[in-house]
């Protein structure tokens, strides 16, 4: 009969007890507290972004004030910009109501050619809506009339690439505006026309929503966004020096380009 090893002392026996667990109520309180911390961080980052503008609002003239040499910066608030009544016979769809909070797409015939009008703010998701809209337009449009105070940069870039891929010309009449992200739509036209009196303006952009990211990651996102814009302008044969005015103009102001500047940056083309 084989010898059995002596039994282990009680203190050396393997434990069969499970690790202590937090009560469900304590776990829920901890998760809720963590959510409050993240919400406070997000709110704080948003406040840091807008407080300077609230404390020191722009003293620039209203956007409706006439331009002068070296006097091209105007106050910018997309919620306060309404369409200017179109002059008879200059635009397929006269704009006489409030500026839509997201792009309104209309296809029609103008001077015997199929055209589309894009009116309103560029909201997130408008690029996908625009792609769906284009599938319903037959025959394909030859021109796109623009009238927008701007909005989502990424959607504007995506829509611009769609416009260029279809060989559509972009056009603005004398009472149209194209501000903030809208000039990227203008830049997409195979041919680009801006009538005297139209307002085309650029400024600094936000890229994506604020998140609780370290500062270096936030800067990286901004740099990535600017790089994408520069690549887009190059693909559209636009002089990237146009970004100089955008980078020097805060988000609550807009730098209005003169006809000579638009021509020098190739934002407009000879018709």
Compute the half-sphere exposure of residue 103: CA atoms within 13 Å on the CB side of its CA: 31
Give the CATH number, domain containing residue 98.
3.90.226.10
Given the structure tokens 């620039």, which residue do they identify?
Answer: 60
| Residue 187: partners with Cβ closer than 8 Å, 6 or more residues away | 160, 170, 232, 233, 236, 238, 267
Give pLDDT, residue 216.
Answer: 41
Q: Which residues pair with 145 in a beta bridge?
A: 117, 171
- Closest by CA to 181, choosing from 248, 137, 233, 258, is 233
Query: In the predicted model, what is the mean pLDDT of the chain?
Result: 82
Q: Confirm whether 41 is domain-assigned.
A: no
- Interatomic CA distance for residues 150 and 200, integer angstroms: 10
Structurally, the chain folds into a number of domains equal to 1
Say whether 105 sits in a helix, a strand or coil.
strand
- Per-residue pLDDT of 181-223, as tens digits, reads 999 999 999 999 999 999 999 999 865 544 344 444 445 666 7
Q: Which residue has the higher pLDDT, 266 or 41?
A: 266
Q: Confirm whether 21 is domain-assigned.
A: no
CA dihedral 66, 67, 72, 73 (to 10 degrees): -10
Task: Kindly list the distances between the CA atom of residue 206 and the CA atoms of 56, 154, 223, in Å, as whole numbers in the listed order.
Answer: 19, 10, 11
- Closest by CA to 204, choosing from 254, 267, 242, 257, is 254
Q: Confirm whether 39 is domain-assigned.
A: no
Q: Which two tokens stand for residue 60?
A: 């620039």
Q: Confirm whether 97 is domain-assigned.
A: yes
Q: Confirm whether 88 is domain-assigned.
A: yes
- Per-residue pLDDT of 220-261, as tens digits, reads 666 777 789 999 999 999 999 999 999 899 999 999 999 999
- Per-residue pLDDT of 33-66, as tens digits, reads 666 665 555 455 555 554 555 555 678 888 888 8
Q: Decide if pLDDT at 99 tops 70.
A: yes
Q: Confirm whether 56 is domain-assigned.
A: no
Exposure b/e, 188-209, CB count within 10 A at least 16 = b: bbeebbbeeebbbbbbbbeeee
- Quick check: bond before 170 cis, omega within 30? no
Give pLDDT, residue 227.
Answer: 83
Q: Model confidence at 29, in pLDDT bands (50, 70, 90)?
A: low
| Residues of the chain above pLDDT 90, percent | 55
What average pLDDT does the segment 96-112 reach?
A: 91
What average pLDDT does the segment 130-139 reach?
A: 96
Q: Which range of residues forms the domain containing residue 202?
A: 69-264
- Per-residue pLDDT of 2-11, as tens digits, reads 566 666 555 5
């Amino acid at each position: 009969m084989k010898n059995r090893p002596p039994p282990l002392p009680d203190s050396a026996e393997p434990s069969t007890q499970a690790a202590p667990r937090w009560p469900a109520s304590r776990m829920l309180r901890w998760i809720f507290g963590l959510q409050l911390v993240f919400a406070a961080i997000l709110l704080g980052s948003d406040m840091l972004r807008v407080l300077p503008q609230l404390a020191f609002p722009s003293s620039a003239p209203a956007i409706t004030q006439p331009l002068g040499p070296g006097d091209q910066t105007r106050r910018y608030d997309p919620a306060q910009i309404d369409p200017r009544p179109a002059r008879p016979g200059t635009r397929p769809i006269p704009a006489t109501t409030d500026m839509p909070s997201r792009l309104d797409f209309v296809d029609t015939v103008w001077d015997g050619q199929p055209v589309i009008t894009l009116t309103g703010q560029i909201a997130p998701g408008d690029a996908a809506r625009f792609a769906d809209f284009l599938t319903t337009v037959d025959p394909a449009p030859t021109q796109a009339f623009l009238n927008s105070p701007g909005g989502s940069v990424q959607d504007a870039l995506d829509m611009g690439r769609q416009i260029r891929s279809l060989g559509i010309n972009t056009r603005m009449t004398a009472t149209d505006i194209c501000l903030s992200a809208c000039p990227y739509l203008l830049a997409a036209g195979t041919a680009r026309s801006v009538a005297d009196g139209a307002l085309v303006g650029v400024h600094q952009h936000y890229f994506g929503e604020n998140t609780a990211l370290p500062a270096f990651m936030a800067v990286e996102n901004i740099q990535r966004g600017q790089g994408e814009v520069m690549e887009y302008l190059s693909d559209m044969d636009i002089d990237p020096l146009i970004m100089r005015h955008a980078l020097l103009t805060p988000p609550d102001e807009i730098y209005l380009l003169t006809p000579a500047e638009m021509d020098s940056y190739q934002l407009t083309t000879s018709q």
